[in-house]
Amino acid sequence: MRFLNFLFLVFFLMMFSCTKDKVDNNVNLVCTDVVSFAQEIEPLINQHCIGCHNSSSASGGYNLEGHTNISNQADQIIGAMQASGFQLMPIGGPALNDDLIQQFLCWIEQGKLNN
């Protein structure tokens, strides 16, 4: 009986001691304001992605310079931000906060405008 209690305790501790390595994909998307590519999306990409994903290095085959590249690869970008079918990005760093991910999702939802 002690052994079963011990196993239950170990199982319980393992289940609730895990760190967050995947972003919640079930975010209730609320897009009240129009997201600006120039003021919000491009700076987000430049700060968190462009160091590895640019025209000179294009890590993983992704060049994220400019609206056309970002727009064409938006599904892959959001997949990497959420670790949904892609490796969590930015690599080696913490996941982007949910507000930034929601902002990117809203931009996609609003038609990936070049505004």
Is the peptide bond between 90 and the residue preceding it cis, with omega within 30 degrees of 0?
yes
Tokens of residue 112, six digits: 């990936």
On whether the pTM is more than 0.85, the answer is: no
| Per-residue pLDDT at 60 | 87
Q: How confident is the model at residue 62 (pLDDT cuts 50, 70, 90)?
A: very high
| Per-residue pLDDT at 30 | 85
- When the pLDDT of each residue in the chain is averaged and rounded to a whole number, the result is 83
Residue bearing the bigger pLDDT, 77 or 26: 77
CA-derived radius of gyration, the chain:
18
| Per-residue pLDDT at 55 | 92
